[in-house]
Chains A and B, each alone.
Chain A
Amino acid sequence: MKVALGVNGHAREDDVEPRLLLAHYLRDVAGLTGTNVGCDTSSCGACTVLLDGRAVKSCTVLAVQVDGRQVTTIEGLAHGASGDLHVVQEAFRRCHGLQCGFCTPGMVLAAVSLLADCPQPTEAQVRAGLEGNLCRCTGYHNIVAAVLAAAGPPGPPP
C-alpha cells in the first residue's frame, strides 16, 4: 500500500506491506535507527516517537495509519543534525539521565510530549507520565530529575 507522510519535516512516499509497523517502517524503510525496539508487547516504550507532536509507541501504529501525518523521531528533535540539543536532550545529558542509551530516544520523546501537556509537572506527575517507558539502568532517578530540570523553575505568575 502507498503511504505518504512527513518524517522529521521531510515528505516521504513509500509502498509498504499493510502489516508493517511504524517502528519497522522508520528503522527499515526510512533508515532511522534511532528508534529502538525493546519488546513485542508494547510494554517498554523504547520505540516512542511523536505523531503530530504527541508521543506514541511506534510499535502500536501501522505505517499505513500514518498516511498524511507528521512523525518526529529522535533524529529530528535537535535543531538540525548537529545543532543544539533540544532542552530535554540537554537536561538528560546534564543530569546523567541515561546509561546504556537504549531506552533514551523513547524516553526523551515521551518526556517532550509530557512537558507539552504539562509544562510544570510535579515529581509524581513526571513519574506517572513516564509509566509507558521502561529503563533498566538508571532506576529513573536521574531521568525524573532531567525532566524536572527541563521544565525549569515555574515562570512568574500571570
Chain B
Amino acid sequence: MRGTRVTRREDERFLRGRGTYVENLDLPGALFATFVRSDRASALIRSVEVDRARRCPGVVDVVTAADLALAPFPPMLALSNQAMVRHWLAADRVRFAGEAVAVVLSETRPAGVDAAASVTVDYEPLPVVVDPEAAAAPGAPLLFPEAGTNVALDLQFGRDEALFDGCEVVVHRRMVNQRLASCPLEGRSAAAAWGDDGRLTHWSSTQSAHAVRRRLAPLLGVAEADVRVVAPDVGGAFGAKMDPTPEEALLGLLARRAGRPVRWTETRTESMLSLGHGRAQVQHVEIGGTRAGRVLAYRLTVVQDSGAYPAHATGLPILTRMMASGVYDIARVEFNSTSVVTNTAPTVAYRGAGRPEATAAIERAMDLFAAAVGRDPAEVRRTNLVPPGAFPYTNAVGTVYDSGDYATALDRVLDRAGYAHLRVEQAGRRAAGATVLTGIGLSMYVEVTAGPSAPDEWGAVSVTTAGRAVARTGSSPHGQGHETGFAMLVADVLGLPLDDVDVVFGDTDAIPTGTGTLGSRSLQTGGMAVHRAAAEVLAQAHRLPGDPLAAGATWADAAAAAERHGRPLAAEVTYRGTVSTFPFGAHLAVVDVDVETGHVALRRLVAVDDAGRIVNPLLAEGQVHGGVAQGAGQALWEEVRYDGDGRLLTDSLAHYAVPRAADLPTFESELMETPTPANELGAKGIGESGAVGAPAAVQNAVVDALAHLGVEHLDMPCTAERVWRALNR
C-alpha cells in the first residue's frame, strides 16, 4: 500500500459539512469571550473604564489585568531576553496595536461585541518603533526599559574581515524577507469547561493538544492530569498555532471565575492583528568567488523582527543559519543575527520558519553572483552544488545533511521546464521589443525536518478482538491526512485492509503524550512510532503459542487468543529521532512581466522535490501544491504592513493578498525519492518544501525578466507597483 495514491478517509465528513472545528462545538451554557484590543502600538495605560460595558444587556463580566493580578505570561522562548515580559492582558502598557486589554463575557456573541465597544481605555502615547533596524540602532525607544535593550536574542558567531580574501568578485545586497500572515482559514478558536470533578476540558484549534496541556496546567495551577485538551478538526495552522496565546490561555481562568464554560473564536481582524506573523527578516547578503563562477565565501547578517513580545520567530535565525549556504559547497560561511523587539505583533513560526529566509537569501545571492560574473544562473548553481557522493555532508557551519542528490534535482527541473527553449523565447521577446517579457527563475533548497528541537513522538498500536487495529499518535493533524497516511503504515505492516485501521489523535485523555504536527515532522516521527508499534504487535501475534496468524487465523482470532493468554496485542513506542533529515529540491518559475504596468503573471511553476521515500504521493503532492502557492504568494503579493504609527494596514483578507485560484497556474510537480538513512521508512518531511523553495524561484524570475533593463534586485513581494517603480526611477 505504501507508495500508492490512496484517497483520504477524512474527506467524507468535511464534504458533508460535518467538520468538528471548535466553533461547531455544542457547549450549553457557555459564555462568549470578546477581547477589547488596543488601537495604539505603544502607550501607557492610564485607566480602563469598564462600568458602562458591565451595564450592557447580556454582559456577565468584564475583566482587566487589575482583576486578575496574575504573574506574567511565561515566556514563549527560553532563549530570548527574559526581561521582556508579557502579561495575560496588558496591564500598564501596550506594545502593539491589537494587544488585548480587557475581555467581556456575555451570554451571546453580539452582546459581547456591543459591550466591548463601550470599554474606554485612556492611553498616554509613547514613541513607536516599527522598523527592526531602527529598533536595533542606538538611542531607539525601548519597548522594555527594564531590559535596557530592544535585543531579544543576539546570535553573534564572530566576524572574519578576511572572509572574502582571494575572491575575484564580491557582491553585497540588502534584502527584506517580508513579514507574512499565515492566514489559516480558521483562526484561533478555543473553549474551556470545568467538570464537577475539578478537571478542565479545553478544546483548541491547535497543532499540538499536548503542548496546550503543558502550557495551560501550570498557568491554571493544576496538574496536567487535571487538564484534558481536545484538538478536534483544525482549519489550518501553518506554524501559527503551535502554542496557546494569552487570549486562549485565559479561557480556563475565566471559566473558573464565571462558574460556566467560556468559548472564544477570533475574528479575521483579530487574527491579522494578534495571531502572530511570520518571516520578517532584514538580510545583508555578501557572496564572493572566482570569475569562473566558483563561490568561495558567503556572509549572511540578519536582523530578525521579533514583534512586541519574543516568541518562536525570535529564534528563527538559528534555523536560517543551519542551511545558510543552501545546497552549495561553500568553504567559508559567516552568519550573525540580532532579533529585536518592535511595536508590531509578535512573530511566530510560519511554514518553513527560518528556511525560506535562508533559501531566499542564498538563491538571490547566487543569481546576483551569476550576473556579476556574467554566467548563466543554472550553470553557476551546478558548479557549486554539494556533489552526490559527499553525503553525509557537513556544511561550513557544522550542519550535517543526511542524504541528497542535488545535481539530479537541478537536471530534472531544467529538463521538465525546457530551460533552453525558455531562454530562446525570452531572447526573442526582448529582441522584438515586446511589452510582456519572459522571466525565468531558479531556486534550489535544502531544509531540515524532524529538527533537533522536536525529534520525538509517541505512538501506539493495538488490535481488538473484532479484528480492528487502533493506531494512536501524539501527532495531531490539521489537514495533512494522518487518518489516511498513518493507517496505510499500520495496514501494510499488519496486512489489514485500510478500513480496518482506526487512527486516534488530538485528545490528551486518549493519548498520554505527544509533540504535535509542526516542522514537517509527522510522518517521519509519529509515522515511525506507529510503524514500529505495528511491527511489535505483529511480532507479539507471531509469538503466540502455535503462531495462529501463520496457521491462517484472522487478526480477530489472534487478538482473542492473545487475550486468553493475558497478553493483549498492544505496543507503545516513543520514536526518538537522533538524526535530522534534509529534504531538498529545485524549483523553476516562468513569469510574464508587463513592463508598461508592472504586472507579473506567474505562468509556470515547476517543482522537483525530494523528501525521501513517499508513503502517499497524492498527499505529498498536495503538500507541495499548498506550499508552492504560499511561496508564490510571498514572492508576488503578500506582505503585512504597518504605518509609521504602528497601525496595521493589512488587517483583513480584503487588504492582505492571499493568492486566489486565478492568480496561480496548475503546478508541475515531480517527486524524487532519495531515501534517508535516518529511519526505516526512508522518509523525510514534505510539508514545508514548497514554501521554502518557491519564493526565490518566482522572485528570481521577475528580476530575470528585467535584468537587461538594469534591474538587479527587487525585494518581495514583487508587486506591480514595485516593478513599475523599478522601471520608472
Cβ-defined contact, A131 with B661, below 8 A: yes
Interface centre among A40, A98, A126, A140 (most CB of B within 10 A): A140
Cβ of B8 within 8 Å of any chain A Cβ, yes or no, is yes
Q: For the complex, what is the distance from the CA of A38 to the CA of B205, rounded to whole Å?
A: 14
On chain B, the residues within 8 Å of A100 by CB distance are: 184-186, 233-236, 478-479
Number of A-B contacts (CB under 8 A): 180
Cβ-defined contact, A92 with B15, below 8 A: yes
Cβ of A143 within 8 Å of any chain B Cβ, yes or no, is yes
Cβ-defined contact, B628 with A139, below 8 A: yes
Cβ of A85 within 8 Å of any chain B Cβ, yes or no, is yes
Cβ-defined contact, A39 with B268, below 8 A: yes
Contact among A37, A102, A139 for B629, CB-based, below 8 A: A139
| CB contact under 8 A between A103 and B185, given known A40-B652, A140-B661, A143-B661 | yes
Choose, from B59-67, B466-474, B619-627, the stretch at the interface. B619-627
Near B by CB (< 8 A), chain A positions 105-154 give: 105, 108, 123-124, 126-128, 130-131, 133-145
Cβ-defined contact, B185 with A43, below 8 A: no
On chain B, the residues within 8 Å of A137 by CB distance are: 185, 236, 479, 622, 626
| CB contact under 8 A between A101 and B480, given known A36-B185, A139-B625 | no
Cβ-defined contact, A40 with B267, below 8 A: yes
Interface centre among B23, B661, B666 (most CB of A within 10 A): B661
Cβ of B432 within 8 Å of any chain A Cβ, yes or no, is no
On chain A, the residues within 8 Å of B21 by CB distance are: 33, 36, 102
A 40-83 to B, binary, CB cutoff 8 A, 1 in contact else 0: 11011010000000000000000000000000011100100100
Contact among A35, A102, A135, A141 for B667, CB-based, below 8 A: A141
On chain B, the residues within 8 Å of A89 by CB distance are: 15-16
Measured as residues with beta carbon below 8 angstroms from the partner, the interface class of chain A is 35 or more
Cβ of B664 within 8 Å of any chain A Cβ, yes or no, is yes
On chain A, the residues within 8 Å of B480 by CB distance are: 99
| CB contact under 8 A between A104 and B14, given known A93-B7, A96-B619 | yes
On chain B, the residues within 8 Å of A123 by CB distance are: 666
Cβ of B645 within 8 Å of any chain A Cβ, yes or no, is no
Cβ-defined contact, B654 with A43, below 8 A: yes
Q: How far is the CB of A104 from chain B (nearest CB, A)?
A: 5
Nearest B residue (CB) for A78: B16
Cβ-defined contact, B11 with A74, below 8 A: no
Q: How far is the CB of A20 from chain B (nearest CB, A)?
A: 8
Cβ-defined contact, B660 with A134, below 8 A: yes
Contact among A38, A39, A85, A140 for B664, CB-based, below 8 A: A140
On chain B, the residues within 8 Å of A39 by CB distance are: 268, 652-653
Cβ of B658 within 8 Å of any chain A Cβ, yes or no, is yes
| CB contact under 8 A between A134 and B15, given known A96-B622, A140-B661 | no
Q: For the complex, what is the distance from the CA of A61 to the CA of B664, rounded to whole Å?
A: 29
Q: For the complex, what is the distance from the CA of A74 to the CA of B658, rounded to whole Å?
A: 24
Cβ-defined contact, A142 with B622, below 8 A: yes
B 440-482 to A, binary, CB cutoff 8 A, 1 in contact else 0: 0000000000000000000000000000000000000011110
B 641-682 to A, binary, CB cutoff 8 A, 1 in contact else 0: 000000000001110001111101011000000000000000
On chain B, the residues within 8 Å of A104 by CB distance are: 14-15, 19
Q: For the complex, what is the distance from the CA of A138 to the CA of B626, rounded to whole Å?
A: 4
Contact among A37, A93, A133 for B11, CB-based, below 8 A: A93
On chain A, the residues within 8 Å of B187 by CB distance are: 38
Cβ of B17 within 8 Å of any chain A Cβ, yes or no, is yes
Q: How far is the CB of A111 from chain B (nearest CB, A)?
A: 11
| CB contact under 8 A between A74 and B654, given known A40-B268, A96-B622 | no
Interface centre among A73, A134, A139, A145 (most CB of B within 10 A): A139
Cβ-defined contact, A142 with B479, below 8 A: no
Cβ of A17 within 8 Å of any chain B Cβ, yes or no, is yes
| CB contact under 8 A between A139 and B664, given known A39-B268, A99-B481 | yes
Cβ-defined contact, A96 with B7, below 8 A: yes
| CB contact under 8 A between A93 and B8, given known A98-B15, A100-B236 | yes
Cβ-defined contact, A131 with B662, below 8 A: yes
Cβ of B18 within 8 Å of any chain A Cβ, yes or no, is yes
Cβ of B88 within 8 Å of any chain A Cβ, yes or no, is no
Nearest B residue (CB) for A94: B7
Cβ of A3 within 8 Å of any chain B Cβ, yes or no, is no
B 252-295 to A, binary, CB cutoff 8 A, 1 in contact else 0: 00000000000000011100000000000000000000000000
Cβ of B57 within 8 Å of any chain A Cβ, yes or no, is no
Cβ-defined contact, A101 with B235, below 8 A: yes
Cβ of B238 within 8 Å of any chain A Cβ, yes or no, is yes
Cβ of B218 within 8 Å of any chain A Cβ, yes or no, is no
Cβ of A6 within 8 Å of any chain B Cβ, yes or no, is no
On chain B, the residues within 8 Å of A128 by CB distance are: 661-662
On chain B, the residues within 8 Å of A124 by CB distance are: 662
Cβ of A4 within 8 Å of any chain B Cβ, yes or no, is no
Nearest B residue (CB) for A31: B26
Near A by CB (< 8 A), chain B positions 1-52 give: 7-8, 10-19, 21, 23-24
Cβ of B618 within 8 Å of any chain A Cβ, yes or no, is yes
Cβ of B701 within 8 Å of any chain A Cβ, yes or no, is no
Cβ of B183 within 8 Å of any chain A Cβ, yes or no, is yes
On chain B, the residues within 8 Å of A138 by CB distance are: 622, 625-626, 629
Q: For the complex, what is the distance from the CA of A32 to the CA of B690, rounded to whole Å?
A: 35
Q: For the complex, what is the distance from the CA of A99 to the CA of B653, rounded to whole Å?
A: 20
Cβ-defined contact, A99 with B23, below 8 A: no
Q: For the complex, what is the distance from the CA of A18 to the CA of B568, rounded to whole Å?
A: 60
Interface centre among A38, A102, A104, A128 (most CB of B within 10 A): A102
Cβ of B127 within 8 Å of any chain A Cβ, yes or no, is no
Cβ-defined contact, A131 with B185, below 8 A: no
Cβ-defined contact, A108 with B666, below 8 A: no
On chain B, the residues within 8 Å of A131 by CB distance are: 660-662
Q: How far is the CB of A158 from chain B (nearest CB, A)?
A: 30
| CB contact under 8 A between A141 and B14, given known A101-B479, A134-B660 | no
Cβ-defined contact, B184 with A136, below 8 A: yes
Cβ-defined contact, B11 with A98, below 8 A: yes
Q: For the complex, what is the distance from the CA of A144 to the CA of B233, rounded to whole Å?
A: 24
Q: For the complex, what is the distance from the CA of A58 to the CA of B232, rounded to whole Å?
A: 25
Cβ-defined contact, A108 with B661, below 8 A: no
Q: For the complex, what is the distance from the CA of A131 to the CA of B322, rounded to whole Å?
A: 39
Cβ-defined contact, B666 with A141, below 8 A: yes
Cβ-defined contact, B630 with A136, below 8 A: yes
Cβ of B110 within 8 Å of any chain A Cβ, yes or no, is yes
On chain A, the residues within 8 Å of B690 by CB distance are: 139
Interface centre among B11, B15, B24 (most CB of A within 10 A): B15
Q: For the complex, what is the distance from the CA of A58 to the CA of B17, rounded to whole Å?
A: 15
List 19 A-B pairs, Cβ < 8 Å: A19-B110, A34-B17, A34-B19, A38-B185, A38-B186, A40-B269, A93-B15, A96-B619, A98-B14, A101-B11, A102-B185, A102-B186, A128-B661, A134-B658, A135-B185, A136-B626, A137-B236, A140-B629, A143-B661
Name B residues whose Cβ lies closer than 8 Å to a Cβ of A.
7-8, 10-19, 21, 23-24, 110, 182-187, 233-236, 238, 267-269, 478-481, 618-619, 621-622, 625-630, 652-654, 658-662, 664, 666-667, 690
Name A residues whose Cβ lies closer than 8 Å to a Cβ of B.
17, 19, 32-41, 43-44, 46, 73-75, 78, 81, 85, 89, 92-94, 96, 98-105, 108, 123-124, 126-128, 130-131, 133-145
Q: Which 10 A-B pairs have the closest CB atoms?
A: A34-B17, A139-B629, A101-B14, A102-B235, A100-B479, A99-B479, A74-B17, A43-B653, A139-B625, A33-B24
Extra contacts besides A99-B236, A101-B10, A102-B21 (14): CB < 8 Å: A33-B23, A36-B19, A36-B23, A38-B185, A38-B268, A44-B653, A99-B480, A100-B235, A101-B479, A102-B236, A136-B236, A136-B238, A138-B629, A141-B625
